Chain A
Amino acid sequence: DAGITQSPRHKVTETGTPVTLRCHQTENHRYMYWYRQDPGHGLRLIHYSYGVKDTDKGEVSDGYSVSRSKTEDFLLTLESATSSQTSVYFCAISESMRGVGEQYFGPGTRLTVT
């Protein structure tokens, strides 16, 4: 995951506050994804992007919004954080139209909502 960074890596926030997580890539890949990982649930897709300003919802998008104003950055925003959004968040990238669309993951952000 040398070409993908996530910030912050750890965050503790209070219920009701807005939170923005950032994913930055240096690979110039077209596709970017946000997942959350919780015990017993594996990874679940929140939102994804297929180009600058082009985004769509995933399986668990309620309570989350995203933005992509540049190829290299994909932001995930929790407008009003809740305790159920305590999780580990992973960003992934893919040059989907080449090969089989394999995804590569960033290091993750551990978010705790108190």
Chain B
Amino acid sequence: QKEVEQNSGPLSVPEGAIASLNCTYSDRGSQSFFWYRQYSGKSPELIMFIYSNGDKEDGRFTAQLNKASQYVSLLIRDSQPSDSATYLCAVSSGSARQLTFGSGTQLTVLP
């Protein structure tokens, strides 16, 4: 059984702070790693993906991958109230790149 674990939160940070979201996975054959943002009542929206060890930056977002530790993280710099959402970690494997999701971390950015 492939597992993806996330801290369920909720996580609260003040506006302008760095939010740190973490994820671990069980399948060492996992190929790529994704972060989705989901606002309440909406569908998941892809914000970052990473497939090589190290850091990947995109604007205020940085994804970090450590395959030896089976660990993925997402840093959100200069957090804004509009970043308040549930963040889903997903891991792909298999010939059709099927995704296994964590249960999500609810983030609240306080004005």
Q: Please report A residues at the B interface, Cβ cutoff 8 Å.
A: 1, 31, 33, 35, 40-45, 48, 50, 56, 58-59, 90, 92, 94, 96, 100-108
| Closest-CB distance, B90 to chain A (whole angstroms) | 8
Chain A CB count within 10 A is highest, among B42, B45, B88, B103, for B103
In the complex, are the beta carbons of B97 and A31 less than 8 A apart?
yes
Closest A-B pairs by Cβ, 7 of them: A101-B97, A100-B32, A42-B101, A42-B103, A105-B43, A43-B101, A96-B97
Size of the chain B interface, CB-CB below 8 angstroms: 25
* Choice from A45, A48, A100, A104 contacting B51 with Cβ under 8 Å: A100
In the complex, are the beta carbons of A45 and B88 less than 8 A apart?
no
Given known A-B contacts A42-B102, A42-B103, A56 and B96 have beta carbons under 8 A apart: yes
Closest to A103 in B: B99
Which B residues touch A106, using CB under 8 A?
43
B95 an interface residue at 8 Å Cβ cutoff?
yes
Q: How many A-B residue pairs have CB under 8 A?
A: 65
In the complex, are the beta carbons of A42 and B49 less than 8 A apart?
no
In the complex, are the beta carbons of B44 and A105 less than 8 A apart?
yes
In the complex, are the beta carbons of B34 and A102 less than 8 A apart?
yes
Which A residues touch B99, using CB under 8 A?
33, 43, 45, 92, 103
B110 an interface residue at 8 Å Cβ cutoff?
no
Q: How long is the Cα–Cα vector from A100 to B31 in the complex, in angstroms?
A: 8
Q: How long is the Cα–Cα vector from A94 to B51 in the complex, in angstroms?
A: 16
* Choice from A44, A48, A56 contacting B101 with Cβ under 8 Å: A44
Closest to A41 in B: B103
Closest to B95 in A: A50
| Closest-CB distance, B25 to chain A (whole angstroms) | 13
Which A residues touch B102, using CB under 8 A?
42
Which B residues touch A41, using CB under 8 A?
103
